[in-house]
């Protein structure tokens, strides 16, 4: 975090410390974790070669890149009317709720599910006193754009219209990776299509905000398979936006980095320096601030894409920081 927490999460200096980007800043635990991830997945099949569903099933069973997801005994499913039939939402409520944390899972718009982050959402729900609601949106390549964003927009409108049913008037949105992208799109869609700005906070964790690929996404390369490579980003983007070229993928309706960001809620951007999407968060945070919004940037030396799925000290610190941000932003 670039700033003094005692002064508040938004009283941050606008100067980044270059030391956080050096190898010397990387904790030994993080170096070992990264080496283990590379060794684990270096020979794993690519989803576009074996089929997305096979990799989805492996993730659900804990035999893929990430540890097996632990399901919450507190979680409940409901269904609402969606753009293409029923849309499932997964709820995890705290003892006393003051509103909702609308969560959108990651997975490159291709992988992942709403029930694979229960432990994370329990911690956010209990720490911020919000009912966590995760969206089971449609995935590419079976359902390319605009299916996923349409589902998230529908869920957001339903939550905003029924917010008082969840114990208060506080509403935050957030997600990881593609979920951070969909969270940003949802904020913009509600503002631009419906004239509504119901969100009090946006928790955007290692998001992709330039679907035309930021400089770090292009430069990361494919030598080390540290969760997310340049090739993976290309394949995910082509599945989500089939047939579009780089320029078309950078339309403001698709890539929020290029959108009008004025009049938005406070944003919290989390990123690791060994993440191919590093520049997405650096650039999006800068544009968020430049548009007149409050925001903060939380950088983890050496952390890879998706690092909060792995047990380590940086994961603990990051989740605590996310909860602290939500509590301050919501008041």
* 22, 315 Cβ separation under 8 angstroms: no
Count CB atoms within 10 A of the CB of residue 119: 16
Please list the active-site residues: 177, 275, 305
Q: CB-based burial of residue 213 (10 Å sphere; 0-12 exposed, 13-18 middle, 19+ buried)?
A: buried
Whole-angstrom Cα distance, residue 34 to residue 305? 10
Q: Which long-range contacts (CB under 8 A, 24 or more apart) does 116-120 make?
A: 116/59, 116/60, 116/69, 117/69, 117/176, 118/69, 118/70, 118/71, 118/72, 118/75, 118/92, 119/69, 119/70, 119/72, 120/308, 120/319
* 217, 246 Cβ separation under 8 angstroms: no
Length of the chain (residues): 331
**Which tokens belong to 22?**
């050096």
Whole-angstrom Cα distance, residue 207 to residue 200? 19
User: Three-state DSSP class for 262?
Assistant: coil
């Amino acid at each position: 975090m670039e700033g003094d927490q005692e002064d508040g999460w938004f009283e941050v200096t606008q100067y980044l410390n270059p030391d956080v980007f050096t190898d010397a800043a990387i904790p030994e635990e993080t170096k070992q974790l990264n080496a283990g991830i590379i060794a684990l997945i270096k020979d794993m099949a690519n989803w576009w070669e074996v089929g997305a569903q096979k990799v989805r099933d492996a993730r659900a069973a804990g035999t893929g890149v990430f540890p097996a997801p632990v399901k919450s005994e507190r979680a409940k499913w409901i269904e609402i009317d969606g753009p293409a039939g029923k849309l499932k939402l997964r709820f995890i409520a705290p003892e006393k709720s003051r509103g909702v944390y609308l969560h959108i899972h990651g997975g490159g718009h291709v992988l992942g599910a709403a029930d694979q982050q229960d432990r994370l959402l329990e911690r956010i729900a209990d720490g911020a006193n919000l009912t966590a609601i995760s969206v089971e949106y449609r995935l590419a390549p079976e359902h390319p754009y605009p299916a996923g964003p349409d589902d998230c927009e529908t869920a957001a409108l339903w939550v905003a219209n029924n917010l008082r049913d969840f114990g208060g008037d506080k509403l935050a949105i957030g997600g990881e990776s593609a979920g951070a992208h969909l969270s940003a799109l949802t904020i913009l869609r509600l503002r631009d299509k419906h004239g509504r700005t119901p969100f009090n906070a946006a928790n955007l964790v290692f998001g992709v905000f330039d679907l035309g690929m930021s400089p770090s996404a292009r430069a990361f390369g494919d030598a080390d398979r540290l969760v997310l490579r340049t090739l993976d980003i290309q394949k995910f983007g082509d599945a989500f936006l089939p047939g579009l070229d780089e320029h078309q993928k950078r339309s403001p309706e698709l890539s929020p980095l290029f959108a009008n960001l004025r009049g938005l809620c406070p944003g919290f951007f989390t990123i690791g320096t060994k993440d191919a999407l590093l520049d997405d968060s650096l650039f999006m945070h800068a544009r968020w601030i430049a548009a007149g919004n409050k925001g903060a940037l939380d950088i983890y030396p050496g952390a890879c894409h998706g690092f909060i799925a792995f047990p380590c000290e940086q994961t603990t610190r990051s989740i605590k920081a996310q909860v602290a941000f939500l509590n301050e932003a919501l008041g």
